[in-house]
Amino acid sequence: MTDSAATEDDDSWFREGAMAAWPICFGYIPIGLALGVLGNQAGLPVWAVTMMSIMVFAGSAQFICVAMLTAGASLWAILFTTFVVNLRHFLMSSAVAVYLSGLQRLLLSFFAYGITDESFAVNMARFRTGNWDFKRALTVNQLSNMAWILSTTCGALLGQFIPRGAFGTDYALTAMFLALLLFQLHNITFFLTGFAALLIATLWYLFIPGDSYILGASVSAATIGYFFKRYQDRHK
């Protein structure tokens, strides 16, 4: 932490956490509603949809679970798929650990529950610029969590009364990812890493079935970026 704002013992942490979280919450609404509707159509009771959102809290895995239940998949097949799809969080957890060093293990264990693609991206962008701390980051995680639980439950309750994709809501998270990406392109190394990731992920996605492209392209591109940085540092 570079400056005083993050260590000040006042109430600004909640407001700042909420300000950072709202684009995520907003983006979760259409997706959560859609998941609830699908769950409802697949025959899941409303309480089961809510319970899944509380216990799993992982959008893509929950969609896959509903689809697999509809197709009559086995418990083990669903668990294995969930594990593979969510393995990417291993990388995010590692990256965020750099900024949460020395924190109590109980708090870290609680924080881990809320690590998603979205909360990770928002929190890392803030951590990088300083002025961000555990409390603010946890606020982002848990407000996103609440928005997710509420919107999936509403979807299950209201069923198909809600029109899909009104006012471009389907694009909310994509727009958020684009902006977060742009804010992190500080130098040529990050540009190169991003370009490599786009290229590798596209090819991987086209040629290899499943969701391994996220993990595969991220690790490959980060490694390319890392060696480029080393090369650059040596030839300064």
Partner 1 sequence: MNFSDYIILFGGMGLVTYLPRWLPLFYLAQRKLPQWLIDWLSMIPVAILCSLLAPILFTDQSTRTLDLGKPEFLVAIPTLFFALKTKSLGATVLVGMGLYWLSGYLLQ
Considering only residues 103 to 162 of the shown chain, the ones binding partner 1 according to CB under 8 A are 103, 105, 108-109, 111-113, 115, 117, 120-122, 124-125, 128
If one asks whether residue 179 binds partner 1 (CB under 8 A), the answer comes out as yes
Give the binding range for partner 1 (CB under 8 A) out of 8-16, 32-40, 102-110, 147-155: 102-110
CB of 145 to partner 1, least distance (A): 12
Window 8-67: residues binding partner 1 (CB under 8 A) = 19-20, 22-23, 26-27, 48, 51-52, 55-58, 61, 65
Cβ-based nearer residue to partner 1, 14 or 171: 171
Alpha helices in the chain (DSSP H): 12-41, 46-55, 59-70, 75-86, 89-97, 105-113, 117-129, 134-158, 172-183, 188-207, 212-234
Give the binding range for partner 1 (CB under 8 A) out of 2-10, 145-153, 154-162, 223-231: 223-231
142 DSSP 8-state letter: H
Query: In the structure encoding, which two tokens stand for residue 11, read together?
Result: 């109430």
Question: 88-95: which pairs have CB atoms within 8 A and are 24 or more residues apart?
Answer: 88/117, 88/214, 88/215, 88/218, 89/58, 89/115, 89/116, 89/120, 91/215, 91/218, 91/219, 92/117, 92/120, 95/120, 95/124
Q: How many residues bind partner 1 (CB under 8 A)?
A: 96
* Binding-site member from 1, 8, 77, 79 for partner 1 (CB under 8 A): 79
Cβ-based nearer residue to partner 1, 84 or 154: 84
